[in-house]
Amino acid sequence: MSVNELIRKMPEAINPAATANMHSTIQYKITQPMYLVIDDGKCTAHDGLAPSPDLSLIISDENLAAMLKGELNGISAFMSGKLKVEGDMMLAQRLPSLFDTSKLS
C-alpha cells in the first residue's frame, strides 16, 4: 500500500474523542502532497497543498509509511532529521493520540 493510500485511509482511523472541538489542517509534504482536515471529530483526506495548514510534515514517502505503520517513532524521526516540522509543534506531538494507526493496515 502506498503512502498516499495510507493517508486516504486515515479518516477511518480518527479518534473522535481526541479530536472533538478540534479544527486543524495537517499537510504531508511528500512526493504527491496530501493533507488532512480535522473538524470536530471528523477527518477528510485531500490531494495537493492546503491553503494554510496548521502543521506541515516534511518527510520521505518511505519514512512516513513506516511512521503510519508504527515502524518508525515520530520523535526519533524528528531527532534524526528524517522528519521536519513546520507550524504547530504541539499538534505534531499530539498526532499519535489522534489516530489509531492499527486501522491502517
The ranges assigned to domains in the chain are 3-98
Give pLDDT, residue 85.
Answer: 97
Give pLDDT, residue 79.
Answer: 95
Please identify, in words, the CATH class of the domain defined by 3-98: alpha beta
Q: Quick one: which of 89, 73, 79, 83 has its CA closest to 30? A: 83
Give pLDDT, residue 105.
Answer: 72
Answer for the pair 56, 29: CB distance below 8 angstroms, yes or no.
yes
Give pLDDT, residue 101.
Answer: 84
Q: What is the number of H-type helices and E-type strands within the chain? A: 4, 5
From first to last of its 105 residues, the chain has per-residue pLDDT tens of 899 999 999 999 999 999 999 999 999 999 999 999 999 999 999 999 999 999 999 999 999 999 998 899 999 999 999 999 999 999 999 999 999 988 887
